[in-house]
Structures are given as structure tokens and as C-alpha cells.
Chains A and B, each alone.
Chain A
Amino acid sequence: MFANLKSKHNLYFPSLPDLESVLNLQNFFRLAFLLSFFVFATTTFAQNATLSGTIKDSKTGEVLIGATVAVENSKPIVGTVTNVYGFYSLTLPKGNYTLLVSFIGYQNLKKSVDLQQNTTLTFEIAENTNELTEIVVTSDAPQDKVQNAQMGMEKLEMKEMNKIPVLLGERDILKTIQLLPGIKSAGEGNSGFNVRGGTSDQNAIFLDEALVYNASHLLGFFSTFNSDAIKDATVYKGGMPAQYGSRLSSVLDIRMKDGNDKKFGMGGGIGLISSRLNVETPIVKDKGSLFLSGRRTYLDLFLKAADNDNTLYFYDFNAKANYKINEKNRIFLSGYFGRDKLGVGNTFGIDWGNTTGTLRWNRVISPKMFSNTSLIYSNYSYRISINAAGNEFDILSRIRDYAIKQEFLYLPNPKHTITFGVHSTYHNIVPGQVESRGSNVINVELQDRYAWENALFVNDEWKISPRLNLNYGLRLTTFSLLGEGKFYSYNSEGKVTNTTNYGSGEFVQTYINPEPRLGLSYTVNLNTSVKASYTRNVQNLHLISNSNAGTPTDLWIPSSKNIKPETADQWALGLFKNIKDNQFEFNVEAYYKTMSNQIDYKDGANTRANDKIEGELLTGIGRAYGIEFLFRKKQGRLTGWVGYTLSRTERQIEGINGGNWYAARQDRTHDISVVAMYDLSKKVSLSAAWVFNTGNAVTFPSGKYTVADKTTFVYTERNGYRMPDYHRLDIGLTWIRKKTAKFESSWNFSIYNAYGRENAYTITFRENKDDRTKTEAVRTALFRFVPAVTYNFKF
């Protein structure tokens, strides 16, 4: 694909930043050398054998992510955790062992093994059917938060998520993670989120490794993730391992269900505004399966009934197939298709959505080495249709990625878990292409943009001693802006000073950035550890949007000669504690983050249909800091958590606010969430979620005047005011109507904003309609007492 690339960029004549990169490149190789030294230095040459295989759900055959295999009663614990494909590998001195296999929500399994040679063993464990049985999870599970060096990470429990009440009963990953400390909602009922002071475009959201560019439906009120199709979701607020990158603030890694490879099953739900249906079936029993899931809203049917010509709906479709060729090779094909449609009669219409596809090949190269190769496709597009004033045309905009990712997992001994690989992505951005349908042709074409992004990564989780764990790695990324096209240089006023033409595939600009990742934990005692981490992240695609709420007309622009890569350096310190035999969990994390090349607009910037958009942008620096507390009850009839975040996030950009620091829009001082789930009986469970946060920073007027027949307001400082405090209580009830081995059905009732607080969605200022000599402030509140009912079934 890139064979005919001609190099014309300044890599050969490094400017200062490039020189730095080259020096860092040397550091990279030095580190790689040190890494291999550590790994092999700690390899003992005793008589070892490796036990490897897969851990699966006994009923569905679904592989389990993050399940544990450990030697029973080993002190310090000797064990390992399954990777995202359910693979584990454990190298032990030859001998007799009793192994304990465990996973949250599953019954423990004990198995005696006489390990004399390399052995492959598949474990199948059963889900806890009786939710009320007290399961004592042994606190020596290696995946335990206390026991490893990973910080800033949360894994979502799908079962738990399904109980938490949400707007209109549409259970939703993106809204559930907003209840965790450090992750804030971008607005009322919004699936957009801000992590540790970042903007919502600084989150990398992966669905089966494909980047999802716009994860929202219906202008943010719903996310693109149909919870029926999701197996696992992990969010990183910082300290992400080196295999993750491309965005500044966070990573949300979502994995789709593989489907039942033992028997046919169906499930679904009927709700007030949407319905869901999923089907899973073996292709060949115990060897391969197929999972299909769909969802559609039917609000438009009510509109039709009300004799309204307007259109408003969305749908999603998830599909996944997998097949085990033999014990060593397995392939997966998964895809997502979703679309929103919104239309006003025949005058105006817009539809938008994502398409992703992933083809994967898992290969067990040796008992200690696992490989995954992925071919990934991701596409986000929108189309605006206009039929007015005799103009009939469509505007099409699109961002499309083709990627290949090769990842190896190497487990030389129980002390090291090494991940390394490469990731190469080709981006094609179509900012706006006009297709005329009528007689009045408007021939507009914004230039397409091309970029090539590469990452080389290596990461090692090293158990240095029973008390000390180190998680260290490096991600080396390159980003090249490619021709063809005209590229502009701008002066300080944003006027074009120079235009250069590049041919197809020519390098316009290349950036090389090393991203070191480092995490260290020290276990004070079995139940307490302290951790520290440092993370650098780089982002080379930047979202141009004057909204924080995921509008469909998002425009992504690549790093260029004018727009430099965004970088963030984050330092974090944490205390992790398990209390009362792991019944409770208490975490505190404090972080400090600096950011460079943060983007904002000039006053009066025209960001729509503008080929010279870079001239309308300003860049500056940012800083964010805060402390997050999480107290969680994990077992018993009452489960849930209390989260509190105290934080600040600010920007300093020449040309905004007189060049002084100002609070970023998403800055909120206090953020509290309380989530509780209570099992009333085997059939009925109650849930409640209460949130409180300080209002966003906002710009309000400090005076007024009249110009062009309009009352106009005077603005003196950026984000100098606060929206009112926000708080809300949601309550829910789940009633399991029937639960047998063959059929399961349940009802879910919920009320969003149960005490009807009028939270400000917007505050606007206007002339009083009755008395034009006065002006007034108007608060708009959106959702109060929104009830929902959903019927779910599964057989």
C-alpha cells in the first residue's frame, strides 16, 4: 500500500523537536535492551514445565477475560490471568499442584495437576446461578487491584451494569462508567465523557480493537454500544499499558461477545423507545459460534402517528463469528454497523454512523507465547441532505481507517508478562464532499487528507519481589501526513502565506514520539498497596467541534506543519486497600497532568466547510490535577460504591482570555456518585444512583449594548462563571419473573431524576418578550421524572 512513498519531509534535516525524537529513539533501544536483560536474567534454568490453555464459561463456551489460575495456598501467590482471548500460560517447576481457577461471578474450580511436561488444559467454570449465595473470593487472586502495579483502571461488571438505572432504561456502558470517580459526564443524559480533565475527543474507544470515532446516538443521549453484545469493558484513566495509545486522556477497551458454541439461544428486550434482539448459535459445536445482535428505536413511529413529517431514529447491528481451527489457531470476524437518521420533512436531513470490522487470528506459538493478528477497519461518516431554494444536494463527510495490528504475549516465567507488537493505521479523511442532485449545481470540494500512523510497543509486568511490582513499557509512535493535496502555511494572524502541492503518497510532515509508561506498586501487606505511575500519551488526530456533546458533524483533522501533536504527561500516586476479606475495596488516586498543543478557536472562527481551517485555530497548554476516592462494597445483598473526585483542569492559550489561565469547560470542582444495588429477594433487586457535581465552567455576559437591531451581550473573560450545581437521583427495580434453565424473563422499571430536580441544560440570555427594555436569563432543564419500563427475555 505504501510502496511508492517518496520522502520529501524534514526527517533528514531534523529540526530541534525531531532531534529530540531521534535521541529518544536511542533511549528506546536502550530500554529494549535493558528489558531483554531483565527478562532473561530472571529466567531460572530449573526443570520447569508450562501449563497453558483457555478458561471458558461452562454453559456458553464464551472465553473469560481476566480469569485467574493460581496455585492454591501459594505464598507469595503464584498464578496468572487470562488475556482478552481467554488464554493463560503458567510456567512452574515440575511437580504436583492443586490449581484454583476463579473469576468474579463464577464458582471456583479446584483441579489437581501433575505437571511433568508442557501441558494444555482448558478449564470450564460455571456462573453463580444463585445470586444470594455468599461467595468468598480468596483475596490472593492476582487480578486483585491491590496485587498488581496497574493504576487508573476500572473493569466494568456487565451483570452489575444491567442493574444500574439509566435514562429511558437503555443500559449503557458509557453512562455507567461516568459514575466512576475521574470520569465525568459531558452533559445531561450524555454519552460523551471527560477523563481527568480531558475533552471528550481525547478518549480512545475501541470496539474489538476498532476505534469508534463517534460513540453516540441521537446527539449524545445514547451510546453506540448495545449492552447485549458486550462481554467486557475496561477503562484506563491513566497508566495505560504500552499496547494502548492514540488518544490523550483515556482508553476504553470494549470486547464483543463471541456467542454460545454449545447451543442455540435467543434474547432480547422490549422498551419504551427501543427494542433489542440477539441470536447466538454454534457453527460447529465446541469449535465455533455466531453472535448477532440488533437494536432499533421507534420514536419515529409515534411521530408518524402524530402526523408529523419529521424523522428521528437510530439502529445498531453487531455481528461476530469465531472458529477454532485447531488447538493452536482460532479466527474471529466481528463487525458493527450503526446509523442515526434525522430529518425535517424533505427540506433537511442528516444521517450518521459508524461501521467497524475486525478480522483476527489467534495463534498459540508455544505454551509461553501467544500471538494475535488483527486486520481492522473503521469508518465514521455523515451525510447532510438539503432541499431548499431550488438547491438539492448532499454533503458527505467521512473518516476511514485501515489498520493492521500484530501483538505477542510472552510469559517466560511467572514473574514476567510481556506484551509487544506493532500497530499500523492508514487514515483517510473526507472533510466535505458535495453531491448535487438538482439542477442548481454547487460544486464544492474540500480536500481529502491522508495520514499513516504507526506504533511499536513493548510492555512488561514484572513481579520483582513478592512486595514489588513494576509495569513498564514504551510505545514509539510515528505519524505522517501524506499527500496528495495543497498544504498551507499560515502567519500569526492565520492568513495563508504559502501553498505547497504534494503528490499522492508524498510525505508532508512526520512526527516521531516516544511514549514511556511506568507503574510501580509496593505491597505493604496482603490487603494494602501503594502505587505510583507515569504515563505519556500522544494524540495526532484532533476533533474540531464547537460542542462537547458529540454532534454528528464532527470534523477530525490530522497533525500537520501547523498543528503539532497533542501530548500529555501524567503522574499519579495511589493507595489501594481491601477490607474485611475482600468485602470492601478502598482506593485513592491523586494525579497531576500537563498537556501541550491543546486546540481552541479564534473568536469568530469559521469551522464549517473551510479548507483553511488551521488558520482559525489557536494552540496552548493545559494542566489538570485532582484526587479520586472510591469505596466499594463488592459482596453481600447490598453492593455498590461511593466515588468522590476533587479536581481542576485549566488551559492557557495565547489569544484567549488575554493569555491568562482559565478553567476548561469541563472543569468541575466536586463530583460525587453513590451507586447502590440491593437484592430484596432472589427475584427482586432494587438499585439507586445519586450524582452531584459542581456546574461546568461557562462564559456569561458582563454587560450589554445594541448593534444591528439586536440586543447584544458583552463578554469579558472565558469561562469565568459556573453553571448551577447538578444533582440527580435515579432509581430502578429489576424483577426476575421466571428463571429456569430453559427460559429467563425479567422486568426492569426505572425513574430517571426521581425527585425532579430542574438541572440546567443551558442558560441563555435574551430580551424579555413582553418588556423590550429588559433582559433576562433563562434556564432550560431537560429531563425530570422520566419513567421507563423494559421487558427482557432469554432462552
Chain B
Amino acid sequence: MKLKLLAISSALLLFTACERVIEIDLNSSSPALVVEATLNDSGEPAQVRLTKTVNFSEPNNYPAVENATITLADDKGNSTVLQHKGKGLYESTQIKGVQGNTYTLTILAEGNNYTAVSQLPKKVNFDSLWITEQNTFIGKTKVASVKLKDPIEIGNNYRFKLGLNQGRFSNLFLFNDNISNGQTLSRSLFVNDNTKMEVNDTVKVEMQCIDAASYLYFFSLNQLDSGPNQSASPANPVSNIKGSPKALGYFSAYSVQRREVIVKE
């Protein structure tokens, strides 16, 4: 429940709140390594992107880390070194993502060692995707909904990505079976910007089954979404990358399923 949103919205209903871009003198921090590493079971290459943080006042150009040595290994004794494709992107097709396997990523970047472990969970069937019209704060809008049947075993974590035509929303849609284990889960993917779905638009949804560490990472990343404000005490997302000095980012091995639907009247 986005209560903060509600709080501000109800205040907005009462009066027009006033938003203004202001200058704030923020501290600088020494650049830290950012890891974004993924592997899925669709045959797509394992990908690792290495960048560095910059200060708030600088433009959003994040320097790539290009001379790193990255090794990916599974728990069956296979391992491979990823190839640098340019701009800090490293890839390999030598190791395939297999459901149930656990993968270890080793990074040697700028003299520092990092490791990360992720398990590629078993697939849970992506049951259906459909569009309905619903009331939201911005009025009546079309909303995509998804459905799946959670298995009996506890500990399933899901992440959905929502795309519209050629674009994609950056919203993180996260569900787990913490309190609804073994049940049919259906959820609406509410988007909190003003983009509206029109008739004949193509809605694309990707469902990922992710492990608990990846879920915690995305969950804590999502908590930052509302930004630092009066109520929250923001902190960096809980990363599964181990090493020193601390790195930011994640390594997620996941199973993937994709569905599309055309918006009708």
C-alpha cells in the first residue's frame, strides 16, 4: 500500500502542493563498483555489466570498468571466463542457465575481488495475462493483471517486468509466497506514472522466478523508489555481492517466461 502516495495525494486534494527544483549541497563519495549480473534459462548469454558510481551533481554518465576478469561457475564443475564486449559489458554463452543449479560469479576488478552466488529456481507456470479497466488516483485506466499458481513448497519469489509496445516501465513488480504459500496469486501491475494503455497497444510481460537473495535486493531497491522523504530512512539495497570495498548491485539467476496481449476496447 503506497500510503505515502496516499498521504501526499490527500493533501493534494486539499490544497495544491508546491513542487520546486532546489539546489542542495550534497557530499561526494569515493566511486564504488556497481555490478549488474544476470543469467536465465532461455539460452540468452550470461551478462555482467560493471560500472562505477558518480557524484550527484555530475551528469548520468557512469564510467565502465573494462579490465576486469570475470568467471562464472555452476555447481556441476563447469566454469567459464566472460568476454568483454565493450563499455563494461561482459558476456558468455559457455555456461547455460539450468533450473535448480547454483551459480558462482567471481570478479577481479581494479585489484579487488568479489564473489556472488545465485540459484536459478524451478519454473512456476505463468498462467495468464489480461487487461482490465480499473479506478486509480488518476481516474479510470487500463491495467495489466497476471495470474499464477504458487507451488506447495514455500520460498517462491517472483519478479515481473512490464513493457508497452517498444518501451518498458522501470517499475519493479515483486511477489513472494511468504503469507500466501501454495495459493493462486493474481496481481495487477499498477504503474505510477501517467502513461495510459490505448486500444491496439501491445502489452508485454516477463515473469521471472528469482531466488531469495535477488528478491531481497529488488525489494530493498523498490523501497528506495519513493525517495528519501520525511518518513523513510533510505539505505543502499541489500546486495548479494560480497567483497571489499563494498560493491553495489546484484547477481540474479532466474527462469524466464514471456507473454503478450493486445489491448482491446
| Chain A positions near chain B (C-beta within 8 angstroms) | 187, 218-221, 273, 299, 303, 309-310, 312, 342, 344-348, 350, 384, 388-391, 440-444, 446, 546-549, 551-553, 600-601, 603-604, 606, 608-611, 665, 696, 698-716, 718-721, 758, 761-767, 772-784, 786
The answer to whether A706 and B62 touch across the interface, beta carbons within 8 angstroms, is: yes
Could you say which of B1, B20, B184, B237 contacts A604, with CB atoms under 8 Å apart?
B237
Out of B18, B60, B140, name the residue touching A784 (CB < 8 Å).
B18
Cβ-defined contact, A709 with B56, below 8 A: no
Question: Are the CB atoms of B170 and A714 closer together than 8 Å?
Answer: no
With both beta carbons as reference points, the residue of chain B lying nearest to A764 in the complex is identified as B227
B190: chain A residues within 8 A (beta carbon): 388
Q: Name the B residues within 8 Å of A221 (CB-CB).
A: 11, 14
Q: How far is the CA of A11 from the CA of B120 in the complex (A)?
A: 48
In the complex, which residues of chain A have a beta carbon less than 8 angstroms from the beta carbon of B11? 219, 221, 761, 782
Question: Chain B residue with minimal CB distance to A766?
Answer: B227
B238 to chain A, nearest CB (A): 4
Chain A's interface: helix, strand, loop or mixed, by majority? loop
Q: Give chain A nearest CB distance to B227 CB in angstroms.
A: 4
Chain B residues, Cβ within 8 Å of A218: 10
Alpha-carbon gap, A218 to B11, bound state (A): 9
Interface status of B108 (Cβ within 8 A of chain A): no
Q: Could you tell me the distance between the alpha carbons of A548 and B4 in the complex, rounded to whole angstroms? A: 11
Determine the residue in chain B with the shortest Cβ distance to A548: B231
- Binary contact readout B228-248 vs A (1 if CB under 8 angstroms, 0 otherwise): 111111111110000000001
Contact B231 A758 (CB under 8 A): no
Q: How far is the CA of A441 from the CA of B24 in the complex (A)?
A: 49
21 A-B residue pairings within 8 Å (CB atoms): A219-B6, A299-B14, A303-B13, A604-B237, A611-B179, A665-B233, A701-B228, A703-B54, A705-B32, A706-B34, A712-B224, A715-B228, A718-B233, A721-B26, A763-B228, A763-B229, A766-B227, A777-B24, A778-B21, A779-B19, A780-B18
CB–CB A603/B227 < 8 A: no
Report yes or no: A389 in contact with B132, Cβ–Cβ below 8 A: yes
Binds A, one of B39-47, B76-84, B215-223, B253-261: B215-223
Report whether B249 and A707 are in contact in the complex, using a CB–CB cutoff of 8 Å. yes
Contact assessment for B228 and A699 in the assembled complex, using a CB-CB cutoff below 8 Å: yes
Contacts A312-B10, A603-B235, A780-B8; A764 near B229 (Cβ below 8 A): yes
CB < 8 Å: which of B147, B185, B231 contacts A546?
Answer: B231
Q: Which of B132, B145, B219, B235 has the most CB of A within 10 A?
A: B235
B166 within 8 A of A: no
Q: Are A761 and B230 in contact (CB under 8 A)?
A: yes
Q: Is the CB of B234 within 8 A of A699?
A: yes
Q: Which residues of B contact A (CB under 8 A)?
A: 1, 3-4, 6-8, 10-11, 13-15, 17-24, 26-29, 31-32, 34, 36, 51-56, 59-62, 132, 134-137, 140, 143, 145-147, 168, 170, 172, 178-180, 183-188, 190, 216-221, 223-224, 226-238, 248-250
Q: How far is the CA of A721 from the CA of B229 in the complex (A)?
A: 12
- Hey, which chain A residues are within 8 Å of B218, CB to CB? 708
Note all chain B residues with C-beta closer than 8 A to A389.
132, 143, 145-147, 186-188
CB < 8 Å: which of A303, A549, A551, A702 contacts B29?
A: A702
Q: Is the CB of B56 within 8 A of A702?
A: yes
Are A388 and B188 touching (Cβ within 8 A)? yes
> Contact partner of A553 among B3, B36, B140, B237, CB < 8 A?
B3
With contact pairs A547-B231, A702-B26 given, residues A773 and B20 touching in the complex (Cβ less than 8 Å): no
Residue ID in chain B nearest A190 by CB atoms: B230
Asked whether B248 lies within 8 Å of A714 as measured between CB atoms, the reply is yes
Contact of B238 among A299, A345, A603 (CB under 8 A): A603
List B contacts of A712 (CB < 8 A).
Answer: 221, 224, 237, 248
Given A389-B187, A390-B186, A444-B179; A763-B22 close (CB under 8 Å): yes
The 5 closest A-B pairs by CB, nearest first: A345-B135, A604-B220, A547-B231, A764-B227, A762-B229
Q: Among the interface residues A348, A600, A604, A775, which one has the most CB atoms of the partner chain B within 10 A? A: A604
CB distance from A346 to the nearest CB of B (A): 6
Most buried by A among B13, B51, B145: B13
In contact, B27 and A716 (Cβ under 8 angstroms): yes
The reply to whether B53 and A344 form a contact with Cβ atoms under 8 Å apart is no
Residues of chain A lying within 8 A (CB to CB) of residue B249: 705, 707
Q: Report the separation of the CA atoms of residues A709 and B172 in the bound assembly, to the nearest whole angstrom.
A: 10
In the complex, are the beta carbons of A390 and B229 less than 8 A apart?
no
Nearest-Cβ distance from residue B8 to partner chain A, whole angstroms: 7
Q: Which residue of B lies closest to A717 (CB)?
A: B27
* Additional pairs, 4, CB under 8 Å, beyond known A299-B13, A601-B233: A604-B217, A610-B178, A708-B36, A710-B170
Q: Which of B18, B59, B168 contacts A774 (CB 8 A)?
A: B59
List residues of chain A with CB within 8 A of the CB of B230. Answer: 187, 547-549, 696, 698, 761-762
Chain B residues whose CB sits within 8 angstroms of the CB of A347 once the complex forms: 134-136
Cβ contact of A344, chosen from B135, B226, B250, cutoff 8 A = B135
- Contact B20–A719 (Cβ < 8 Å): no
- Shortest Cβ gap from B190 to chain A (Å): 8
Q: How far, in angstroms, from A91 to B82 measured CA to CA in the complex?
A: 93
**Structural contact, B221 and A786, CB atoms closer than 8 A:** no
Residues of chain B contacted by A388 (CB below 8 angstroms): 134, 143, 145, 187-188, 190
Question: Are A703 and B15 CB-contacts (below 8 A) given A710-B221, A763-B229?
Answer: no
